Structure 1
């Protein structure tokens, strides 16, 4: 939600190293919850002060005081990324513990909450501009930054990844509960987020100049406060040489967050190669992309999804298989193809965060039990598998 969500706190590394691998960075928004009853706690200021005393960097404020955000350094390997994500989740939870709360990777609050707006002047201005949409907004996303060479390459990428982004919604779906009830959605965060103007998939731009013209015309309507509120599913960063992909829920399992990031980088690399080769961007109507995203938000991986090539419904496993095949050359180049195949298989087998939350309720647990399980999952440090293994 910040003006430049997920942007690295320091100057990013060059887009590609000598080995040809682009940098990637991840922002995660975490919910602050009561350690006993699981209710959200407006403790961000105290948590950030505790983090500062501990010398913790890359932890910052968010729209509401019931949440904080983390941002990894730009890295090139999945091992580095997982280490960063685990360390930042641990640092956030450690700071939260110091002030009597816990950090939870929950994309929406399972329990009823009245959000408490941060006092940053920009957020206050957003409240005045957006009314109830801002007042009720308490969602936590996972935003991925991938380095690009320049804006022309970046827009070429945005034009070519748009058809694949609904699958990242399905893969990361982790927000089935909202204010004490099951919403029937796998990612209700996607639905709540879409209330903001300027969100969602975009038309094919064709050039950086066309992209900038659209943004300028959006701002000229007086609806958006500033360029930071251009909340496209994938957008150019206006501060760093990156593409920011903004569709994913924050994931219960840190391996899911890393999987979303690795697939995002592979999508960017594949699209950049296609753009450089002069291959046209798929001319899929934006209205169909909205439907694909809505369906992904509704079912996650529990039912059929829209195939990115022709809009037909296919089993979720087939849709994810098409995604992995599409980016396989980029994953082979980075040495992550086997790891991605194993992790996709794990999610299909074990379920998304949404399915894991509902499983707590199916086995007799309460909504506070869902939050407690999420706190444990957020603090967990799973074994980092060897990238060359199949799992």
Structure 2
């Protein structure tokens, strides 16, 4: 972001060049994304949430330092509050996407948070995907951090989710039942000729094509590093819980994709500030009750992973103080300025709270 105006700036090339210089030829954590106003980083595999938190805070600080050298600031927002013009990153793949998808690609200045959790096999991974489906909308509600779009209040807590949903392969999916059926579905999608490659299979949760993991992609990028850590802990517990259910022979819920899409819409609309669709009943329920149901669903896994206290406190803090969407709207009410919203979120991003 421009540190004075708060408007997005297409400076990712400069930020990545600074990271490369600092690493002195060694691999670093930062990569480009579809738009020049974005930079992405990945953490190393971690088993402890304290270690994960420390790395996220360190990477955010590094990104801020590299951006400052280019005359910019970084901010962990899932959409820009202020108007932004398209600046597609150079590269053959990105050019193909821009030409193929037109305005859909140009408007994808959105940032999500992906959590990878290791699984022992593709069979276990698909069993996990099948059993996690109803709970992914709750992760979206917790992380929602994109209420503004092109200078206006969108009416949504996660407008990123609505923009992201324009891709033909995005969103909830059906129960697969086996790794063979999962991989056949991916091949069928690629055979349509619509997608460039397997990286464009944008399911809310999928098998990673690079790592032996389940990759959960439902969430907005989180304003506070602590929310990212909470999201990671809950996602790992969801994976562990689903894997245990599979080993014990418990079948997945058979909710239809249409109902899951409706639950996702509701989570994007209200975040934590209204009703959500309860994953067990598929009926409306207050957000705090639905979040508590998620906690109870994964409580055994949280305890086994040593994340019980972290998750309990993190959920309490979010329900009390609000997710990024509520924080941004509160800032606008207090300041009357989207530029001031961005400036406050820049500071909050760097504080690592």
Smaller-chain TM-score bracket: over 0.9
Could you tell me how far 1:303 is from its partner in structure 2? 0.6
Could you tell me how far 1:364 is from its partner in structure 2? 2.9
Give the aligned partner of residue 153 of structure 1: 124
Q: Aligned runs of 1:1-391 on 2, under 5 Å?
A: 33-55=1-23, 57-382=28-353
In the alignment, the residues of structure 2 paired with residue 294 and residue 98 of structure 1 have an alpha-carbon distance, to the nearest angstrom, of 39
- Give the aligned CA root-mean-square deviation in angstroms: 0.8
In the alignment, the residues of structure 1 paired with residue 310 and residue 116 of structure 2 have an alpha-carbon distance, to the nearest angstrom, of 20
Could you tell me how far 1:278 is from its partner in structure 2? 1.3
Q: Is the 8 A contact 1:129 1:225 kept in 2?
A: no
SS at match of 1:324: helix
Give the aligned partner of residue 7 of structure 1: none
Could you tell me how far 1:129 is from its partner in structure 2? 1.4
Give the aligned partner of residue 29 of structure 1: none
SS at match of 1:103: coil
How many positions carry a matched residue from both structures?
350
Give the aligned partner of residue 24 of structure 1: none
**Per-residue CA shift, 1:215-240, capped at 9, x if unaligned?**
11111111111110000000001121
SS at match of 1:42: coil
Divergent runs of 4+, >6 A = none
Q: Is the 8 A contact 1:252 1:374 kept in 2?
A: yes
In the alignment, the residues of structure 1 paired with residue 350 and residue 82 of structure 2 have an alpha-carbon distance, to the nearest angstrom, of 20
Q: Is the 8 A contact 1:259 1:343 kept in 2?
A: yes
Structure 2 residue ranges without an equivalent (≥5): none
Q: Structure 1 or 2: larger helix share?
A: 2
Could you tell me how far 1:374 is from its partner in structure 2? 1.1
Q: Is the 8 A contact 2:224 2:352 kept in 1?
A: no
Could you tell me how far 1:381 is from its partner in structure 2? 3.2
Task: Please report the TM-score for the alignment, with normalisation by the length of structure 2.
Answer: 0.98
In the alignment, the residues of structure 1 paired with residue 59 and residue 241 of structure 2 have an alpha-carbon distance, to the nearest angstrom, of 29
Q: Is the 8 A contact 1:163 1:284 kept in 2?
A: yes
